[in-house]
A and B are shown apart, each in its own frame.
Chain A
């Protein structure tokens, strides 16, 4: 197991290096030079001034040198300064992260809590009306993107019923209830697809598990159906679910960009968008690498958790 973890960590470092390099490459190779963000286009007539700025920002060094410098700073948590606001990229990330993190946690938590009973029930009653209804709803949810769901929720719950605010954000420090009122609609918008994906995974997994001999022997022992479903069948399925949640974090991160935009939430996704509109390259680069790093880390963590939960893997090296 030790060697497994070691290998996994080596791969992790490799992936992170590659991810950061690719991002750096993109930002630096593609047309649309950072200089455009530093100096207004009409001021660029002044060649000397442009050169001076280029020197100042180190834009004239060879790319690998610049990458090395940027990486060296990045591993120390310094992603450079925003070209637009002159605040450091890392302080902006640090500032925005809690919003996105909470949004994602609530979304995943909500989805898992709904999907497990739904999926288990559908599997337990496979082929019945209940199963058809649950699977049908999942199929529909799977087709509703966050921005459509969000718009629908805003229209119904904010505009028509007036129960919840349409946009904005209340920090957790302003009180849990106020905070929840601003997080619930965005989280629900993102949750539809997640619920659908998780429900389908749990259903098909539990259905397979129900065919296992150990379920029959559990029945022969007189254990209640509920106990068998949740204490015997869910365990193996939860491994699959953990993996799927991890893999889906990528889509979810994309989703937060859209939903934070729609609900005007001061999260990382919204910040990335602002940077994009302002052509704030340092910021784009920093957030992109940061987000990809989170995604890679989550998936590595999932692999490790998987190993901890499954005793068969835990023993085998």
Chain B
């Protein structure tokens, strides 16, 4: 990833980003040192259980974490400028124009008391000084683009008059209006009916390709990123635990947490977001995170070292495939640790052993 051509295409470089919320109970360390890079026209999936800091990460990069109790450190260089130290006035220029975001719930991310038409074009008008008539034309084009039938009528409607899928298409149209270079889609399909989830994801993919736009697709569902993103980043407790081109990741999951996520994916059923509880235990407390590897309280491969030292995010064979684990999935040490844990009756190991005797990690154990 270091040749000159690629550096030229480089759009976003995030380095050691950390975000903390100070609340009465203490400091919530929602993001704890995340680094990654994204090229123009490429897509990155960010995956992890709910509460692991995906939304906070995306909003931190976009400087959209509201409130006076938030601290963000690190850098997020976007086209050569560090977003995190940009004056607010410049951020206002970035928002909508260069950076855009599609939110999780299209029911609430549109103002219920404002007609769709104004919401689709108001930023266009404010940013580019576009006149009313031209804005209206653009709005029709945009709605056609996101495949909304009868755009003229829809523009006059209020949000509650449209279906959920339709509203999310509107949100996408809004995000695309000023041709941003980078789009964050934060769980864009989680709140939607399963039947429209694919349509929306396909729409996002098509727009991203056609516009040569970079996209960060945030989801708790590994199934959503599979085949849809170039790279994938798996997050746990505010940190990156595994990072690889999506293809290699699905070929060979090295981090026990990624493996657990994959295992919790339903193979046949479409109901995807109800099954994550299948990972034994609960996400850690972010005010006082566990020492050593954050996944150690729930990891089937855990061994004493894991509880003491934080494993670094590093590559072993494939330089593009990095993970943070002392005894990665598939390694002899890992299998040995797993067998030992099963023998000792460690719940998370036993659970894996019983429910999925044939899955990747348990080969040596049964």
Contacts and interface: CB of A to CB of B under 8 A. Distances in A.
Nearest to B107: A213
Contacts of B174: 217, 221
Contacts of B160: 311-312, 315
B126 interface: yes
A130 to B, nearest CB: 13
Contact of A232 (B96, B108, B111, B178): B111
Interface string A234-262: 01100000000000000000000000000
Contacts of B171: 217
B93 interface: yes
27 contacts: A127-B68, A212-B108, A212-B111, A213-B108, A216-B64, A217-B101, A217-B103, A217-B109, A217-B171, A218-B111, A219-B66, A219-B95, A220-B62, A220-B95, A220-B101, A221-B122, A222-B94, A222-B123, A222-B127, A223-B96, A224-B126, A227-B126, A232-B114, A235-B114, A309-B113, A312-B113, A312-B158
A232 B159 CA distance: 14
A57 interface: no
Interface of A: 127, 212-214, 216-224, 227, 231-232, 235-236, 309-312, 315
Place the interface of chain B in its size category. Answer: 20 to 34
B123 A221 contact: yes
Contact of B103 (A216, A227, A235, A315): A216
Contacts of B111: 212, 214, 218, 232, 235
Q: Which 3 A-B pairs have the closest CB atoms?
A: A222-B96, A222-B95, A221-B123
Contacts of A221: 95-96, 100, 122-123, 174
A222 B103 CA distance: 15
A218 to B, nearest CB: 7
B312 interface: no
A223 B103 contact: no
A143 B178 CA distance: 51
B144 to A, nearest CB: 20
A312 B95 contact: no
Interface SS of chain A = helix
Contacts of A311: 112-113, 158, 160
B224 to A, nearest CB: 21
Contacts of A219: 64, 66, 95
A231 B119 CA distance: 11
A224 B64 contact: no
Contacts of A310: 113
Contacts of B286: none
Given A224-B126, A236-B113, 16 more contacts: A127-B68, A216-B66, A217-B171, A220-B64, A221-B174, A222-B93, A222-B96, A222-B126, A223-B96, A223-B122, A231-B114, A231-B122, A232-B111, A235-B111, A310-B113, A311-B113
Contacts of B103: 213, 216-217, 220
Contact of A224 (B92, B99, B101, B114): B92
Contacts of A220: 62, 64, 95-96, 99-101, 103
Contact of A214 (B96, B110, B161): B110
B105 interface: yes
A223 B123 contact: yes
A66 to B, nearest CB: 50
Nearest to B100: A220
A219 B109 CA distance: 11
Contacts of B161: 315
A53 B174 CA distance: 79
B142 interface: no
B97 interface: yes
Contacts of A312: 112-113, 158, 160
A223 B105 contact: no
A297 to B, nearest CB: 26
Nearest to B59: A216
Contacts of B109: 213-214, 216-217
A224 B96 CA distance: 11
